[in-house]
Structure 1
Amino acid sequence: MISKHNAEHYIWGERCDGWRLVDQENRSIIHEKMPAATSEARHYHQKSIQFFFVLSGTLNIEIDGVEHTLREQEGIEISPFVAHRAFNSSQQDTEFLVISQPNTRNDRVLVN
């Protein structure tokens, strides 16, 4: 059994947390937590399709120049080569799952 209490933990971006729930070459599932007023760098993936699903709070995702606001129990899919970034513009932490197929390790290209 796996949970964020026993999964591999890492820090990313501006004091954000990630827990690797599934870490296989063909798929990854990560539980992430973004504190209020944090963001990640705009980027795309060359191979991976990603699905973001909000567990608590509100998550903003800019996809190819269009901003989407996801609330609890809402998700969105992002195709390869589509520039995106997640950010939390609220005053509360947000927690969400990121499901990637295949795994995004070494598949991230930063965009200005």
Structure 2
Amino acid sequence: MPAKVISTANAEHYTWGNNCDGWFLVKTPELQIIEEAMPPGASETPHHHVHARQFFFVLEGELTMAVEYHDFVAKAGEGIEIAPGQIHCASNRSSDKPLRIVVTSQPPSHGDRVDVKA
């Protein structure tokens, strides 16, 4: 595959949750790197992945990540690793600032998700 510059302007886009956006920066059978945008107040459903190990890196805003029901806060320039099987839930608890993160998953997390009742 030839090299190319990729950004949210030319990456494959999808929407999820309540007005959240995702862009596949890398999408291969071995690796997935996604830039995501979460508006103020947005959150996902608690879940875990059977095989995927993930790393969430904050570009802008403040990520609150519940991991095994304990909250961790990561700010711009910080990240958090999630191991396979760990129950987690990302949220943007800000009332006025968007959250932009890069999520790296190996192997890819789509199709590997198991939702958990809160």
Residue type at the aligned position of 2:101: F
With normalisation by structure 1, the TM-score equals 0.98
How far apart are the structure 1 equivalents of 2:34 and 2:97?
20
Tell me, what secondary structure is at the counterpart of 1:89? coil
Matched, 1:29 2:46: no
Which ranges of structure 2 fall in alignment gaps of 5 or more residues?
none
**For the aligned residues, what is the CA RMSD?**
0.5
Matched, 1:92 2:97: yes
Give the counterpart of 2:107 among 99, 102, 105. 102
Of Structure 1 and Structure 2, the greater strand share is in 1
Tell me, what secondary structure is at the counterpart of 1:86? strand
Residue matched to 1:70: 74
Which ranges of structure 1 fall in alignment gaps of 5 or more residues?
none
Residue type at the aligned position of 2:18: E
With normalisation by structure 2, the TM-score equals 0.94
Residue matched to 1:80: 84
Greater Rg over alpha carbons, structure = 2
Paired-residue identity, %: 45
Deviation at 1:48, TM superposition (A): 0.3
Please identify runs of 4+ aligned residues in structure 1 that moved more than 6 A: none
How far apart are the structure 1 equivalents of 2:15 and 2:83?
25
